[in-house]
Amino acid sequence: MKRLIFLGPPGAGKGTQALILSDLYQIPHISTGDILRAAVKAETPLGIKARSYMDQGELVPDDLILDLIKERLRQSDTRGGWILDGFPRNVSQAAFLAELLQELHLAADCVLNLEVPDEVLVERLLSRKRKDDNETTIRRRLEVYHQDTVPVISFYSDCGILKAVNGNDSLEGVTTALKAIIDQA
């Protein structure tokens, strides 16, 4: 059973690595963005609430994201494990997740933090050629990451389950490093 949390800045490769490892270990890759889109598409009560924020260009509030995560972790395909990608994004979400996992009689086996220097991230994100990826926007996203998400790294480090991985290696090199840590967890 593998219950994993992936942390790292935008452009670190969390989503790519989560997909590879999800397939390898046959566990669901749970991304808050995917959960939101699926709930909206399925028109679940939470999806309808989320859509009202998204349609106005607002961030979906934490409590709604937390309810969606709770709903997702209770689904039967998560019994063998899961990879949380991009969640928690702040310390209050990390504390909520710890309480939720305790309530579900679960624990995260490992928190993996992909470390990549900011300048490399800017280059990577600019090379994706997405409309919303200009240098100013990217640097702002990195500021928000350092402000809100970096304290989550300390939270999990204090819990003794954080493992740092060099995300500035080749795709295969990062996958190999992650697998080595996961297989020992």
Give SS3 for 164.
strand
Strand pairing partners for 81?
2
Residue type, 16: T
Is 141 tagged catalytic?
yes
Is 128 noted as a catalytic residue in this protein? yes
Catalytic-role residue among 41, 74, 130, 140 = 130
Q: State yes or no: is 72 an active-site residue.
A: no
The single residue of 51, 70, 89, 179 carrying the catalytic annotation is 89
Q: Which of 41, 74, 79, 128 is catalytic?
A: 128
Which residues contact residue 127 at a Cβ distance below 8 angstroms, ignoring those fewer than 6 apart?
none
DSSP states of 51-120: HHHHHTTPPPPHHHHHHHHHHHHTSGGGTTEEEEES---SHHHHHHHHHHHHHTT---SEEEEEE--HHH
Active-site hit among 14, 72, 124, 163: 14
Closest by CA to 114, choosing from 36, 3, 4, 1, is 4
Catalytic residues: 14, 89, 128, 130, 141
